[in-house]
Structures are given as structure tokens and as C-alpha cells.
Structure 1
């Protein structure tokens, strides 16, 4: 079996990565989600639970984000706990996808690793290419407040921390990404953009923006 290629996918919080991932899944593209892995790790009994409780006294995602908004050092501490565990589990999940492809004699053209902090974690070169999902800041703010129940002040601060991270400014993310999706329209429009990008990757195009 020819091994399928793995592409990274990233973007700022609330940029629409999860919607893009769902549309890729609908096209039979396997997606491994770093946020989903992190949720599993944070659950009581999860591999990261004890360390997070010892440092932050909570496993709740919204509470952890509020802590990060108030204390910049907390972000580095959370990443130090979660990132090595996420890398290990994601490798195991891709291995399972490969094994399933062998057993079924059905090889996907490619797979995707979705991670908000992919560039920040220094993993851009680990993949065949990186897909960047972008959206207007005001749209991201409203989505973040609605999705996570954050106050506007905390949501703005959280977005500002991401945008000012010297490891991955938007310019660095664009430079590191061969493929780009701009998510500023409707969900049907986003679905069509994903279909176009999927076709471009299958064709072997090395760069594509839509």
C-alpha cells in the first residue's frame, strides 16, 4: 500500500477549522483533531488530568481559557502538559488509520491533522503541507463568545494573546501554509471551498488558495 500523505491544518481560535474538518470528513478524508485529543486528555482519568488539576485546580475548558486570559504564564504551562501527550496520541491515531486502510484495502488520498497551535508548536514541517483557515476578527470574536460563553473582555484578550504570539504571527502562519481557506461567508460557501481545496490536493497541486 502506498502510504497516504498527512497535511496539517491550523488557524486562529474560532476561525472555522472545525467546520472545515467536518466538510473534509464528508469527502472521506480522515481528520485527527488535536482539540478532541486534548478534551480526552483533560477528562477525569485522562493522561493530563492529574497535572492540570495540580497546576490549575480545574479541568473545565472554559475555566482554563479564562485563566489563560488572566495569566500569560498559564498558557505555556498548559502547552507543556498537553503538547507532548497530544503528539503521542495523534501519532497513534494516524497509525490506526493506516492499519485500517491496509485491512480494508481502501487507502485515502490524504489525511489531516487539525491543531490550533500547530505553527506555535513548531510542527509545520512535520507535514506534507499546512492548510490555513482564516476569518475576520469580528466574526471570530462573536463565535468565541457564543461557543465558549466567554465575556467580551476575556474573548478579546484571548484573541489578542493569540495574535501577538511571537512564535506564530499571522504573517508567519501565512508563510508556513501552502494552502489557504478564507472563511468569511456562509457555511454552504465554505463547503464549496473545501471541495475545491480537496480536489486541488488530490490533483497534487502544491499551493492553493480559495
Structure 2
């Protein structure tokens, strides 16, 4: 099984690439969706966050106001780190089980779409690592347009994350999303071909079929040994 890491930065266009993988039938585990699930009302993550940040972050229905919480953590690095520490165990566990479900279904290639791939140290479990990069000024302008926020606020949000230029140095594959969607799609096609190439022997051994044949081979070996011992 091949587990591919996909990351980028805020307004880098990572979601566009993630959706392209989905449209080509490659399963994607989206950490943002997982993060929403682990803080739903009544969950362990929800209880931890409310205990740490208070009831003021709750909507009338008891769910966490993600916009309000986002404003708090993006303006305070200490609180942002606290939130990451609180939710990391829940998110990591949920991602693991999502991967296991896909493994049981026989998926040979899985994309882990994780914005905080390096921060969460999950880059150790993925190969290759794809970074969706965009030049800094384009990133600022896109974020301002997307969220309808002033430039200073946009830069603060971007600076709250690890710089894309640093992530770029750690990538196995870089998709430059600074241009048009057509240019990004052309790059994606090459990346898709690379990611879905035949599995290596090691990757194949970790797939569902690989484990099955290893178990069958081991069972046959045991039966042969037992038969020889009887002689």
C-alpha cells in the first residue's frame, strides 16, 4: 500500500488538487473533515476544547463556532499550540481508522490530505510527499479574496503556519499552483501518473492482497514442516 502525503498552506489550492485526486478515483482521507468530526457536540474532542476555551466559543445549538475559535487561535500562537495538542490524538486516531477502512477495501494508493502534515510529524508515515506551492503574494491576494479580509489579517493567518517555501524543500513532489487552473491540471496529470505507478515489492507486501498471500504462504510452510516432521 502506498500512503501519499498531500499538504500546502492556507489558500495554496491544496483542496483543488485533493479534489482532482478524488475525481480520478484515488481515495483521499481529508484531515479537515476529520477535524470537524472530532469536535462535534458531545465528543471527547469537543469536551476538551470547551474545557480549555470556555462556553463563549459555542453556538446556540451547542456546536463549536469554528469561526470564533479560529479568530482566537490565529491571533495567539500559544492557544493555537494548545488546540493542536488537545486534538492531535483524536485526529491521528481517526485518520488511522479511515486508512484501515480503505486498506480493508483493497485500496492500494491512499492520499492523506493534511494541512499540518509536518507539524503533526505525519510526514514520517507518507511517501511521496506532495506540496502544493504558491508564491507568497498570490497566496495573500487569494486569501483576501476568499475570506473577504484585509491584507494584515491575511498575512497573520499565513504567518501562523509553516512557510510554504520551507515545506517545498521537504517535498518529493511540488505542484506550483501560482498560475491558472489549466496549468495546475497539467502538472497534476504528471503527478497522478507518478503516484499511481505500480507498487514496489515492499508496498505490495503491505497491501491487503500482499498480507493475504504472506499469510497463505506462512500457512503452507507450516503444513509442509508438520508433514515432514511426521516422516
> In the alignment, what sits opposite 2:228?
none
Gapped runs of 5+ residues in structure 1? 102-106, 164-168, 206-210
For 1:181, what is the secondary structure of its paired residue?
strand
- Alignment check: 8 A CA contact 2:133 2:168 kept: no
Between 142-151 and 21-30, report the one with greater CA deviation: 142-151
> In the alignment, what sits opposite 2:94?
89
> In the alignment, what sits opposite 2:120?
121
Post-superposition offset of 1:68: 1.8
* 2: CA distance, partners of 1:14 / 1:71: 20
> In the alignment, what sits opposite 1:208?
none
Larger Rg: 2
For 1:42, what is the secondary structure of its paired residue?
coil
Give yes or no for the alignment of 1:193 onto 2:192: no
For 2:29, what is the secondary structure of its paired residue?
strand
The equivalent position to 1:180 in structure 2, one of 174, 178, 181, is 174
Task: State TM-score, norm by structure 2.
Answer: 0.75
- Alignment check: 8 A CA contact 2:134 2:164 kept: no
Task: State TM-score, norm by structure 1.
Answer: 0.82
C-alpha distance after superposition, 1:80-119 (max 9, x if no partner): 0111111100110011111122xxxxx44x1110111111
- CA root-mean-square deviation: 2.2
Post-superposition offset of 1:13: 1.2
* 1: CA distance, partners of 2:128 / 2:192: 13
Gapped runs of 5+ residues in structure 2? 58-63, 200-231
* 1: CA distance, partners of 2:49 / 2:148: 21
For 1:197, what is the secondary structure of its paired residue?
helix
> In the alignment, what sits opposite 1:104?
none
- Alignment check: 8 A CA contact 2:130 2:175 kept: yes
* 2: CA distance, partners of 1:89 / 1:14: 25
